[in-house]
Amino acid sequence: MNLTAPAAVAALETAFLDMLRAEPGGFGAFESEARSVALSCCAEAMSRALEERDRELAASR
């Protein structure tokens, strides 16, 4: 398993670059917002994976 998930990293890179271009604030503000975006993305991906696994398990009964 590739733990870096290249497609996810590329998507976050694009989002982060857009954030840097849109908000000329300091690094601290960028880091805080980037962390929030990353955690939200992870939470959504985990939720989707759990729902899919639940469907798979239900279908196998």
Q: Which long-range contacts (CB under 8 A, 24 or more apart) does 42-51 make?
A: 45/8
R_g (Cα) of the chain, nearest Å: 16
Residue, of 5 and 41, whose pLDDT is higher: 41
Alpha helix (H) residue ranges in the chain: 6-22, 27-59
Structure confidence at residue 23 (pLDDT): 79
Q: Are 38 and 12 in contact (CB under 8 A)?
A: yes
Instruction: At 8, list the tokens.
Output: 């996810």
Structure confidence at residue 10 (pLDDT): 93
Structure confidence at residue 1 (pLDDT): 59
Q: Is the pLDDT of residue 4 over 90?
A: no
- Each residue's pLDDT tens digit, 7-54: 999 999 999 999 999 977 899 999 999 999 999 999 999 999 999 999
